[in-house]
C-alpha cells in the first residue's frame, strides 16, 4: 500500500515553528502534541530561516527565483519552436524554384537539378528570396 503524504498549510507550518521556538518545550514534545514528526518541524524551521516571507510557497506557488526559472524555460521552448519553424521554411525555400546554381568551372559538370549549395550564391539566394516576396 502506498504511503500517503500529509499536506500542511503555510499557517500551520509557521505556527508549529513559532510554538517550537517560543513555548519553552522541546521540538519533539511540540511535534507529538501536533501529531507530526519532529523532523518536519526541523525542516520547516530551516526553510523559514532561509526564505523568510517566501517560505512554504505551496503547490502552484513558487518563489521568485523558481517563477523566473519557469518563465525562462517557457520562453526558451517557444524560441526553439520558432527556430524550428524557420528552419523548415528555409529548407523548403531552398528546394523551391528560387535556387541559384553555382557558377564557373566547378558548376559546369553539375546539372540544374543539383545546384551547388552553401558555397556559392548566398547573396544571389537572398536577392531571389527578396524578389519572391515582392511578387
Residue range 5-51, pLDDT digits in tens: 788 888 899 899 999 999 888 999 999 999 999 899 999 999 888 88
Domain containing 115 equals 99-135
Tell me: do 131 and 111 sit in the same domain: yes
Name the 3-class secondary structure at 51.
helix
| pLDDT higher at 131 or 102 | 131
Going by the DSSP 8-state scheme, the letter that residue 109 receives in this structure is T
Residue range 76-107, pLDDT digits in tens: 999 999 999 988 887 776 665 555 555 554 44
Cα separation, 44 vs 16, whole angstroms: 8
24 located within any domain: yes
pTM of the model: 0.43
Domains in the chain, number: 3
4 located within any domain: no
**7-10-13-17 Cα dihedral, nearest 10 degrees:** 170
Cα separation, 19 vs 31, whole angstroms: 10
Angle at which helices 27-34 and 10-22 cross, to 10°: 140
Residues in the chain: 135
Amino acid at each position: 500500500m502506498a504511503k500517503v503524504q500529509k499536506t500542511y498549510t503555510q499557517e500551520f507550518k509557521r505556527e508549529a515553528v513559532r510554538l517550537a521556538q517560543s513555548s519553552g518545550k522541546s521540538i519533539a514534545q511540540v511535534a507529538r502534541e501536533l501529531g507530526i514528526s519532529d523532523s518536519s518541524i526541523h525542516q520547516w524551521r530551516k526553510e523559514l530561516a532561509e526564505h523568510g516571507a517566501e517560505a512554504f510557497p505551496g503547490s502552484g506557488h513558487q518563489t521568485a527565483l523558481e517563477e523566473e526559472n519557469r518563465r525562462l524555460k517557457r520562453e526558451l521552448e517557444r524560441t526553439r519552436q520558432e527556430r524550428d519553424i524557420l528552419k523548415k521554411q528555409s529548407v523548403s525555400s531552398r528546394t523551391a524554384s528560387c535556387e541559384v546554381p553555382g557558377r564557373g568551372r566547378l558548376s559546369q559538370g553539375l546539372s540544374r537539378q543539383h545546384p551547388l549549395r552553401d558555397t556559392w550564391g548566398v547573396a544571389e539566394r537572398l536577392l531571389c528570396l527578396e524578389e519572391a516576396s515582392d511578387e
